[in-house]
Amino acid sequence: MSGHFMFDGRPVPFEAGQTILEAARAAGHYIPHLCWHPDFPPHGSCKLCMVKVGGRHVSSCALEAKEGMEVESNTPEMNGERRALLQMLFVEGNHFCPSCEKSGNCQLQAQAYELEMTSARFDHFFPVRPVDASHPDILLDFNRCIFCELCVRASRDVDGKSVFALTNRGIHKHLVVNAESGQLGDTDFSADDLAANICPVGVILHKRVGFEVPIGERTYDEVPISVVSMRDKGSKP
Amino acid sequence: MPHIAQAAESVITKHGRDATRLLQILIDLQQALGYLPPAGISAVAAGLDLPRARVEGVAGFYSFLHLEPVGEYRILFSDNITDRMLGSLELRDALCRKLWVEQGKLSEDGLISIDVTSCTGMCDQGPAMLVNGLPITRVDHQRINEIAELVRTRVPLSAWPRAFFHVDDNIRRRDALLGQSFVSGSAIEAAIRLGRDQWIDEMRASRLRGRGGAGFTTCVKWEACRDAPGSDKVVVCNADEGEPGTFKDRVLLTRCADRVFEGMVLAAWATGANRGFMYLRGEYAYLRPALEAELARMRAAGLLGRTILGEAGFDFDIEIHLGAGAYVCGEESALIESLEGKRGTPRIRPPFPVTHGYLGRPTVVNNVETLTKTTLIALGGGAAFAATGTAQSTGTKLLSVSGDCAFPGIYEYPFGVRIDRVLEDCGAGDAHMVQVGGASGVTIAGYEFSRSIAFEDVPSAGAFMVFDSSRDPFDVAHNFVDFFTHESCGFCTPCRIGTSLLKGYMDKLARGYGAKKDLADIEWINRLLRNTSHCGLGSTAPNPVVDTLAKFRPAYERRLRTLDFEPAFDLDAALAAARRITGRDDPAAHLDSGDKQHTEGER
Ligand SMILES: Cc1cc2nc3c(=O)[nH]c(=O)nc-3n(C[C@H](O)[C@H](O)[C@H](O)COP(=O)(O)O)c2cc1C
Ligand code: SF4
Ligand code: SF4
Ligand code: FES
């Protein structure tokens, strides 16, 4: 089955099984997202991809498109809610962009620019989160984790190593690595793993290359994420 | 550490080295070791051939599993608002003082740890606590003194006075279900006589709707499961009963376990399922021996197992899985994840469990009360069932009544009963507010007491908490927000962070530092939670705040210090640690000496 649905008032075709986000994307319409990645099944946790269908909020990365759906996405209401979700993510962790080596390549930061987030609005949680420098090639700075679980999924489903998992729950949820010591250095993690190269923010960092590309010349410094994402459709989230 | 490896190996063997039983394995291992030490986690991972991080992640999810040592005696005070109204916090503090231990910390000798836990389902006989998982009801100062002495003298739990552990059923009003005697096996026999198709027809005619909260039509769910492709279908009884203020499933499991299980067999007859699970909340683990005995009795009577009541091809059996302190596992897809030995994170839906449930198989999940009601339909027919209640809500409903009333307990009424009728029956002379349906339900103010309990008016999963005019609606909402914050699974952004933000604002108001802007922020967060949450926990979490703000706004405005902005950061409070270190609490050690008296004890 294939058909059409209306996306912000414009008809968009879809193939059977395609989600709203995938179909919109294929037709050249960008929907902001963080936990979705073209190479993985939908995760549905960040909720940035929320759209309204027939007045109801749904995750566009997870819901299959259906004939005749009326989807609202790029509206002040949806963008306002997305901005608020970003603000939540910013106050939950410790995101000091000017001193972060991911700055300019970070999707969270890029989304904040995209959605014109000018302040954090809410009070910062300032959680105490550790840094793990035990691995020879990789540094983990958990202060910036947004729990998209891309590293978890990549390590489990592609690298076949299950180096990462989540533990605890609620606001205390956090990542652990696959070692009794709790240290990345004691796992079989390697810098070539997909999991080492998929983090959308600045948690999983390669050592000794931090500022090879100067800030100001990085991916999202020059071009907004909505453009990068659509330009490199096959490969970039 | 060979004993750790040995204990792990024996538990894993007992569970057939089955990784879907990971949660059950961790519960049993903790029972053996007191807590789950790192070597225990590693041993379980190795024994099940699972990544260690995954085992650690599951263990970390559940409140009743401990990765750090806990006391030989582990006391958890039930922290529902109804327990608090009966003085639970004061009792907790008294016990902490007597045993020289701080809440949430392990005593130096490793003897005792004291903490709070979400509602334990004993609201009609609170304040309640769990001691090493066993409920103690009606705690008062005398009981606290006795408990302190028993702990201090290291009396084993088995030698504690039996009366401590007595749980009353408190059935106050009986109707169709509780008023009828039941002959075990009679409902199954009746349904077999009808045949599978006609049995479904009777279910359709009954228009029975789910009693677990969402009110989905049971027959539609059963038919969808029956028609779903795939064999090995599954029936799950949801006995997680985590909604604060709800305890009717506890009483059904105590009083008529035979009917609950028989309801599961009836669901299996309708859907063709051959495997059944009861997911029993950890707080009700004390019911397990009696439930297992009932299952054994039913097997012996040919009501479970192969060829049920001689019907060729009717094979169905039930196993009990324990939860371990996670309200979200009552949500059906999180429950299924938990049954599979995973973290209780709600799945993306669709697909729904009726087509893709336990291990991807078509699965029916029904509430304890829903399943029990099906025995009435098998015995009396669908039409008779539909003749009571209201047009959209047929049959009766069990209410768990607690709070400010003379006769807390279980009340069975036909749907459509008015709230003022319930208040009169339970002896709530000075009712001011009622929380119907638990923390995620509806807050009802006095002017609405003529409304009725039904899906088309005030829906309810069963809780009915009464508050008199001495109670502050803000405190009630505040307690519920704490509950949701504690119970959020943390999967999705809005609920994980939004509940914590909401708690921050409520705490700020409670401290008397609220500003008008905070109310606007609260309303904005409420909206985000409702609209964007991944599951019902997050989307209903703001309900008590939304309702009390709308119906009891002065309770909030009274707490506003200014009408504009007031920082959440309390500079004076931040100096508390410095004061503690220097042993000072004189006025000069405080920043503002204006309208507030600061003493460390208060914060
Ligand atoms: C956070 C959350 C907690 C829930 N807890 C329970 C529960 O403890 N017991 C229950 O029967 N249903 C609970 N539910 C509802 C279940 O998801 C499901 O709808 C129900 O078990 C279906 O059974 P029913 O149709 O017989 O009501 C909960 C739902 C949510 C969102
Ligand atoms: S470390 Fe990065 S990839 Fe992994 S969950 Fe956190 S943000 Fe996502
Ligand atoms: S709404 Fe809350 S409980 Fe439900 S998935 Fe999101 S974080 Fe988990
Ligand atoms: S992109 Fe859809 S929920 Fe994250």
Q: What pLDDT, in 10s, does the model give residues B87-107?
A: 999 999 999 999 999 999 999
User: Are A102 and A167 within one domain?
Assistant: yes
For residue A44, give the CATH number of its domain. 3.10.20.740
Q: How confident is the model at residue B597 (pLDDT cuts 50, 70, 90)?
A: very low
Q: Name every chain A residue with its beta carbon within 8 A of the beta carbon of B498.
A: 88
- Tell me whether residue A156 is in a domain: yes
pLDDT at B579: 78
Q: Which of A58, A66, A20, A62 is nearest to A41 (CA)?
A: A62
**Which residue intervals of B86-184 are DSSP H helices?**
88-98, 141-152
User: Are A112 and A221 within one domain?
Assistant: yes
Comparison of pLDDT for B89 and A232, the residue scoring more: B89
Q: B293 with B130: CB under 8 angstroms?
A: no
- Tell me whether residue A90 is in a domain: no
Asked which of B165-174, B296-305, B494-503, B510-519 is least confident by mean pLDDT, the reply is: B510-519
User: Are A26 and A124 within one domain?
Assistant: no
Mean pLDDT for chain B overall: 95
Q: How far is CA B10 from the centre of its chain?
A: 31
CA nearest to B61 within chain A: A168
Closest chain B C-alpha to A196 CA, distance in angstroms = 17
User: Are A173 and A202 within one domain?
Assistant: yes
Q: How confident is the model at residue B51 (pLDDT cuts 50, 70, 90)?
A: very high
pLDDT at B591: 65
Res B599 pLDDT > 60: no
What is the ipTM, given to two decimal places? 0.97
- Which residues make Cβ contacts (< 8 Å) with residue B155, sequence separation at least 6? none
User: Are A77 and A114 within one domain?
Assistant: no
Q: B264 with B318: CB under 8 angstroms?
A: yes
Closest chain A C-alpha to B92 CA, distance in angstroms = 24
State whether residue B355 sits within 8 Å of chain A by CB: no
Q: A151 with A195: CB under 8 angstroms?
A: yes
Query: d(Cα B402, Cα B476) in Å, to the nearest integer?
Result: 14
User: Are A143 and A180 within one domain?
Assistant: yes
Comparison of pLDDT for B601 and A31, the residue scoring more: A31
pLDDT at B152: 96
Q: What is the share, in percent, of chain A residues with pLDDT greater than 70? A: 99
User: Are A178 and A111 within one domain?
Assistant: yes
Strand, helix or coil at B399? strand
Q: Do B532 and A85 touch (CB under 8 A)?
A: yes
Q: Which of B543, B429, B408, B525 is nearest to B476 (CA)?
A: B543
pLDDT at A232: 75
Peptide bond into A41 cis (omega under 30): no
pLDDT at B600: 34
User: Are A180 and A157 within one domain?
Assistant: yes
Judge residue B103's burial from the number of C-beta atoms within 10 Å of its C-beta, 0-12 exposed, 13-18 middle, 19 or more buried.
middle
User: Are A73 and A103 within one domain?
Assistant: no
Q: Do A165 and B56 touch (CB under 8 A)?
A: yes
Res B428 pLDDT > 80: yes
User: Which residue owns the Cα nearest ligand 1 atom 19?
Assistant: B214
Q: Do B492 and A92 touch (CB under 8 A)?
A: no
- Tell me whether residue A138 is in a domain: yes
Query: How many distinct structural domains can be found in chain A?
Result: 2
C-beta A85 within 6 A of ligand 4: no
Res B590 pLDDT > 90: no
User: Which residue owns the Cα nearest ligand 2 atom 2?
Assistant: A199
Q: For residue B241, which atom of ligand 1 is closest to its CA?
A: 8
CA nearest to B57 within chain A: A167
Interface of A with B (CB under 8 A): 42, 44-48, 50, 57, 59, 62-64, 81, 84-85, 88-89, 91-92, 121-123, 125, 146-147, 156, 161-173, 176-180
Phi, psi torsion values for B143, nearest 5 degrees: -65, -40
Res B247 pLDDT > 80: yes
Q: Name every chain B residue with its beta carbon within 8 A of the beta carbon of A57.
A: 531-532
Q: How confident is the model at residue A222 (pLDDT cuts 50, 70, 90)?
A: confident
Q: A155 alpha carbon to ligand 4 midpoint, in Å?
A: 20
pLDDT at A148: 98
For residue B550, how many other CB atoms are within 10 A of its CB?
10
Query: d(Cα A231, Cα A222) in Å, to the nearest integer?
Result: 13
Task: Please give the sequence-ordered ranges of beta strands (E in DSSP) within B425-551, or none if there are none.
Answer: 431-436, 442-445, 463-468, 514-515
pLDDT at B601: 34
Q: Name every chain B residue with its beta carbon within 8 A of the beta carbon of A180.
A: 38-39, 41-42, 52
For residue A195, give the CATH number of its domain. 3.30.70.20
Q: Which ligand is nearest to the CA of B238?
A: 1
Q: How confident is the model at residue B581 (pLDDT cuts 50, 70, 90)?
A: confident
Q: Which ligand is nearest to the CA of A150?
A: 2
pLDDT at B483: 98
State whether residue B504 sits within 8 Å of chain A by CB: yes
Q: Name every chain A residue with its beta carbon within 8 A of the beta carbon of B493.
A: 45-48, 85, 88-89, 146
User: Are A76 and A112 within one domain?
Assistant: no
State whether residue B536 sits within 8 Å of chain A by CB: no
Comparison of pLDDT for B202 and B591, the residue scoring more: B202
User: Which residue owns the Cα nearest ligand 1 atom 17?
Assistant: B331
Q: Which of A171, A180, A188 should we substitute to test contact with B (largest number of B Cβ atoms within 10 Å)?
A: A171
Q: Do B343 and A50 touch (CB under 8 A)?
A: no
State whether residue B542 sits within 8 Å of chain A by CB: no
Q: In order of start, what are the domains of chain B with their CATH numbers?
A: 2-61 (no CATH), 75-168 (3.40.30.10), 173-386 (3.40.50.11540), 396-471 (3.10.20.600), 474-562 (1.20.1440.230), 571-602 (no CATH)
Q: How confident is the model at residue B117 (pLDDT cuts 50, 70, 90)?
A: very high
- Tell me whether residue A131 is in a domain: yes
Peptide bond into B473 cis (omega under 30): no
Instruction: Tally C-beta pairs within 8 A across A and B.
Output: 123
Phi, psi torsion values for B552, nearest 5 degrees: -135, 45
- Tell me whether residue A89 is in a domain: no
Q: For residue A42, which atom of ligand 4 is closest to its CA?
A: 2
pLDDT at B592: 56
Q: Do B531 and A50 touch (CB under 8 A)?
A: yes
Asked whether the CA dihedral B278, B284, B285, B288 is positive or negative, the reply is: negative
C-beta B334 within 6 A of ligand 3: no
Q: Do A45 and B498 touch (CB under 8 A)?
A: no
Res B595 pLDDT > 50: no
Q: A195 alpha carbon to ligand 2 midpoint, in Å?
A: 9
- Tell me whether residue A129 is in a domain: yes
Strand, helix or coil at A206? strand
User: Which residue owns the Cα nearest ligand 3 atom 6?
Assistant: B492
Of A42, A84, A122, the CB nearest to B348: A42
Instruction: Quote the pTM value.
Output: 0.95
Q: Do B500 and A125 touch (CB under 8 A)?
A: yes
User: Are A100 and A79 within one domain?
Assistant: no
Average pLDDT over every residue of A143-162: 98
Average pLDDT over every residue of B190-208: 98
Closest chain A C-alpha to B34 CA, distance in angstroms = 19
State whether residue B538 sits within 8 Å of chain A by CB: no
Q: Name every chain B residue with its beta carbon within 8 A of the beta carbon of A65.
A: none
Domain termination residue (choose one: A83, A118, A143): A83
pLDDT at B5: 95
CA nearest to A173 within chain B: B490
pLDDT at A2: 86
Q: B288 with B28: CB under 8 angstroms?
A: no
User: Are A143 and A58 within one domain?
Assistant: no
Give me the half-sphere count of Cα atoms (radius 13 Å) on the Cβ side of residue B314: 24
pLDDT at B84: 98
CA nearest to B503 within chain A: A171
pLDDT at B305: 98
Average pLDDT over every residue of A63-78: 97
Q: How confident is the model at residue B589 (pLDDT cuts 50, 70, 90)?
A: confident
- Residues within 6 Å of ligand 2 by CB: A 145-151, 175, 198-201, 203-204
Q: What is the share, in percent, of chain B residues with pLDDT greater than 90? A: 92
Q: Which of A153, A157, A167, A176 should we substitute to test contact with B (largest number of B Cβ atoms within 10 Å)?
A: A167
Domain termination residue (choose one: A60, A83, A106): A83
Q: How confident is the model at residue B363 (pLDDT cuts 50, 70, 90)?
A: very high
Q: Name every chain A residue with its beta carbon within 8 A of the beta carbon of B331.
A: none
C-beta A146 within 6 A of ligand 4: no
- Tell me whether residue A152 is in a domain: yes
Asked which of A22-26, A103-107, A228-232, B535-539 is least confident by mean pLDDT, the reply is: A228-232
Which residue range forms the structural domain that includes residue A148? Answer: 96-231
- Residues within 6 Å of ligand 1 by CB: B 210-214, 216, 238, 240-243, 327-328, 330-332, 365-367, 370, 535-537
Q: Name every chain B residue with its beta carbon within 8 A of the beta carbon of A178.
A: 51-53
Domain termination residue (choose one: A36, A54, A83): A83
C-beta B538 within 6 A of ligand 3: yes
CA nearest to B494 within chain A: A85
Q: B228 alpha carbon to ligand 3 midpoint, in Å?
A: 28
CA nearest to A124 within chain B: B501
Average pLDDT over every residue of B442-462: 97
Q: Do A171 and B500 touch (CB under 8 A)?
A: yes
